[in-house]
């Protein structure tokens, strides 16, 4: 195990397998050398991934069961070359992550975080009403990546009276939302730009200064995908100089280190990567990790291959 998963599922793994908790080892490299020939499966997480170097160091590795839907910190190409199966945990975290996306939209537009501070600090009594926020009905949301989470966000947005359109590698069959082949065109047509696409070489810094300029002075960027999809320096510049109205961010380029410039801004709402962070969802994710491992070693099958 590269990192921790919820206790109940970790204990379930203990009953089936002999577990080495690498993140707890005093000398992880020494521990790896001791057990490298015994390892047939790895549990990885969003915070503790699996490099090509590690895959190469484990000669009998057969499966990597990843605790998370995004697997950008697992070297899938190296695994494929070695014939190592990689699984992830899709679907079970869709709703909670979509909820956080809409929560960030509400927080930015209705100034919910500012309002909480305004009350707690006594400013309401001293200064009177908080400056007004902005309504959601009639706004336009452009979703970058209309996969499971993107579609779940779209349904929630429509319930708020928000018009939805999207951008992706290609138009999706059976989807009625307007499609924009160009990302800048989507941004220009949107009040809210919602990022829900996977992170890979093609989406690195996909949201750059040009896209932010197209989003415009009344536009809001929401990112619940991966931090490196957004050029963080360009975003800070856009927020500081009024190029965009605001942002809601659950993810960052170099987590858990968040630029102090972002922390100083009052037109951005920051969250510590909590998209799937509910007890129910994390338990379901961990159970899928366990079930993939059990099924693989019992029947050479998996439930959710990458």
Averaged in consecutive runs of 10 residues, what is the pLDDT profile of the chain (306 residues)?
97 97 95 97 95 97 97 96 97 97 98 97 97 97 98 98 97 96 98 97 97 98 98 98 98 96 97 96 98 98 98
CA distances from 91 to 96, 131, 264, 298 (A): 10, 39, 35, 24
Is residue 2 assigned to a domain?
A: no
Q: CA torsion angle for 251, 147, 212, 236 (degrees, to 10)?
A: 0
Q: Residue 50: what pLDDT?
A: 98
273 is catalytic: yes
Q: CA torsion angle for 19, 22, 24, 29 (degrees, to 10)?
A: 140
User: Of 148, 163, 255, 294, which one is the catalytic site residue?
Assistant: 255
Question: Is the same domain home to 57 and 167?
Answer: no
Is residue 116 assigned to a domain?
A: yes
Domain extent, residue 247, equals: 94-270
Q: Residue 244: what pLDDT?
A: 98
Question: Is the same domain home to 283 and 263?
Answer: no
| Beta carbons within 8 Å of 163's beta carbon, 6+ residues apart | 138, 139, 140, 141
Q: Residue 204: what pLDDT?
A: 98
Question: Is the same domain home to 201 and 224?
Answer: yes
CA distances from 76 to 143, 200, 298 (A): 26, 11, 23
User: Of 156, 180, 273, 282, which one is the catalytic site residue?
Assistant: 273
Q: Residue 197: what pLDDT?
A: 97
User: Of 226, 253, 298, 301, which one is the catalytic site residue?
Assistant: 226
How many domains are contained in the chain? 2
Q: How far apart are CA 193 and CA 162, in angstroms?
A: 12
pLDDT, tens digit (0-9, with 9 covering 90-100), for 256-294: 999 999 999 999 999 999 999 999 999 999 999 999 999
264 is catalytic: no
In this prediction the pTM is: 0.93
20 is catalytic: no
Is residue 21 assigned to a domain?
A: yes
Mean pLDDT over each residue of the chain, to the nearest integer: 97
Is residue 105 assigned to a domain?
A: yes
């Amino acid at each position: 195990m590269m990192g921790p998963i919820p206790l109940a599922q970790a204990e379930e793994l203990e009953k089936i397998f002999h577990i080495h908790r690498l993140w707890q080892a005093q000398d992880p490299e020494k521990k790896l050398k001791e057990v490298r020939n015994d390892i047939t499966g790895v549990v990885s997480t969003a915070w503790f991934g699996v490099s090509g170097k590690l895959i190469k160091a484990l000669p009998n590795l057969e499966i990597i069961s990843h605790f998370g839907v995004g697997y950008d910190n697992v070297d899938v190409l190296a695994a494929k070359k070695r014939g190592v199966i990689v699984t992830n945990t899709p679907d079970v975290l869709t709703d909670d992550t979509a909820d956080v996306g809409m929560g960030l939209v509400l927080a930015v537009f209705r100034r919910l975080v500012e309002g909480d501070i305004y009350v707690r600090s006594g400013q309401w009594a001293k200064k009177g009403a908080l400056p007004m926020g902005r309504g959601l009905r009639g706004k336009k949301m452009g979703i970058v990546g209309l996969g499971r989470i993107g579609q779940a966000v779209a349904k929630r947005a429509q319930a708020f009276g928000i018009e939805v359109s999207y951008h992706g590698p290609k138009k999706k069959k059976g989807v009625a939302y307007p499609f924009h082949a160009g990302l800048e065109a989507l941004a220009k047509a949107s009040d809210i730009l919602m990022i829900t696409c996977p992170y890979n070489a093609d989406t690195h810094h996909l949201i750059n200064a040009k896209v932010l300029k197209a989003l415009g002075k009344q536009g809001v960027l929401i990112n619940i995908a991966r931090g490196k999809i957004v050029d963080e320096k360009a975003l800070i510049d856009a927020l500081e100089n009024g190029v965009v109205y605001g942002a809601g961010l659950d993810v960052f380029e170099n987590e858990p280190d968040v630029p102090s410039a972002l922390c100083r801004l009052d037109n951005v709402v920051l969250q510590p990567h909590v998209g799937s962070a509910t007890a129910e969802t994390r338990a379901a994710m961990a159970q899928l990790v366990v079930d993939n491992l059990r099924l693989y070693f019992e029947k050479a099958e998996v439930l959710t291959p990458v």
